[in-house]
Amino acid sequence: MTNSETQNASNRSSSQPITAVIVGAGHRSLLYATYAEKNPELFRIVGVVDPDSKQRKSTAERFGFPEEHCFASVEQLTAVPKLADAAINGTMDQLHVQTTLPLLKAGYDVLLEKPIGISEEEVMELHHTAKSYGRTVMICHVLRYAPFYANIRQQLETGVIGDIIAIQTEENVSYHHMSTAFVRGKWNSIENCGSPMLMAKCCHDLDLIAWLKGGKRPVKVSSFGSLYQFRKEKAPEGAGTRCLVDCPLEETCTYSAKRMYIQQNLWGAYVWDRTGIAADDIDGKLESLRTTNPYGRCVWRCDNDVVDHQSVIVEFEDGSTASHSLTGATAKPSRTIHITGTKGEISGTMEEGSFVIRRPNDVPGQTYTEETIELNVSADMHGGGDLRLVADFVRALRGETPSLSSTSLEKSIYGHQIGFAAERSRMESRVAEIAEL
């Protein structure tokens, strides 16, 4: 922590909870804010910024703060005396930096949803501003806090597999998540979201690679990928434009909006967000999917332009390498990892809740030893990391020692540099070099 950050923390009474304002009252911000509901003695939500008056009202009612603590914009918030210690910024990608800069200048520490920004220039501007104002910024790279990855990092710290030679990771995005968020939804195009899919979805994974390398600088990146499946040329013969309006294939289609969002009740936080439709109003939901709801569109006839598969290769300053593979529309979602070191290897799948450590063995008849590390992994999508992240943010604001998983801004830039370089490489068909910070 900087001297200013230490002073800020020391000025806070240890008997009082850290207070925060939600900026962008969407799914992710409200999820992080549940830490306040579970731990009111440590954390309190005292205000909200959101352009939607209904969302402001519902958030105020949920967390019990007055109407005068509701604001339509960050400019309105920063125009009044400082309301809280911190802000949870869960706005869309292209708004992250432009909404965080005034918060920092107004004295707020910030828990910022990933990615940090939509360009390397934005990220560095935020970094310099946070440093000059002495503010704490932590990035929502929640997978660092998931037991699976946190335990792998702890094993690496012990030197159990020696120095890292290579890391291979993959993220398999399920067909229902891919079609909801990245084809029909608000992350489906760079114009809508501000970020390519690699940064919007795999920012976590690139961050993990950089974090597991323990601060070694990435120097070169190569990447390939495209939008292969979800485009009009790939539509089944006879497919319509909206599932429940003009498609004779709807009943048997894997991507039926009715099946996904009503019969299987998937991704309701996105599909019904701000529609005002009650959870049990099936007729209202059906009518929404037939008419204005973007999640009722045919997945082959949307306005999406982000990739549905991409591969990335990274070289680090010490000569080690890493690769990441993003694949959309898999049957089962999963994240896998394989780390090879000079003395052994670690491999596993996050959703399975365990990983394996293997080491060479010179005992006759045995070529290696194998130890399975079993973990009690939460069932949520991020392996239990979401609220552990918020707990660490609260500890940091109290001036306590951050955890090994700490996602402070300055420790989160390398993963973003990899992502931005990967997109340059993919678009320009060349190896992209990464400049020193």
Neighbours of 88 (CB within 10 A): 28
The residue with greater pLDDT, 381 or 309, is: 309
Lowest mean pLDDT, pick from 32-41, 195-204, 233-242:
195-204
Average pLDDT of the chain to the nearest whole number: 94
Taking 50 as the threshold, does the pLDDT of residue 357 lie above it? yes
Range 362-381 average pLDDT: 81
CB 160 within 8 A of CB 344: yes
pLDDT value, residue 385: 84
Convert the pLDDT of each residue in 147-165 to its tens digit.
999 999 999 999 999 999 9
CB 111 within 8 A of CB 32: yes
pLDDT value, residue 15: 75
**Dist CA 328 CA 309 (whole Å):** 6
The CA–CA distances, whole Å, from 168 to 103, 222, 322, 382 equal 37, 14, 6, 19
pLDDT value, residue 5: 46
pLDDT value, residue 362: 83
Range 31-58 average pLDDT: 97
Per the listing, tokens 């399920």 go with 174
Characterize 263-284 residue by residue with b for buried, 16 or more Cβ atoms within 10 angstroms of its Cβ, and e for exposed. eeebbeebbbeeeebeeeeeee
Partnered with residue 18 across adjacent β-strands are 43
Convert the pLDDT of each residue in 282-301 to its tens digit.
999 999 999 999 999 999 99
Residues 6+ apart with CB under 8 A from 403: 145, 392, 395
When mean pLDDT is compared over 136-140, 271-275, 400-404, the highest value belongs to: 136-140
pLDDT value, residue 193: 87
Range 42-57 average pLDDT: 97
Per-residue confidence band for 378, with pLDDT thresholds at 50, 70 and 90: low
Q: Could you tell me whether strands 321-330 and 43-49 are parallel, antiparallel, or unpaired per DSSP bridges? A: unpaired
Taking 90 as the threshold, does the pLDDT of residue 437 lie above it? no
Per-residue confidence band for 137, with pLDDT thresholds at 50, 70 and 90: very high
Per-residue confidence band for 376, with pLDDT thresholds at 50, 70 and 90: confident
Lowest mean pLDDT, pick from 12-21, 103-112, 121-130, 183-192:
12-21
The residue with greater pLDDT, 105 or 276, is: 105
Taking 90 as the threshold, does the pLDDT of residue 4 lie above it? no
Domains of the chain (ranges plus CATH)? 3-140 (3.40.50.720), 157-230+305-378+408-433 (3.30.360.10), 251-296 (no CATH)
Range 204-222 average pLDDT: 96
Range 382-402 average pLDDT: 89
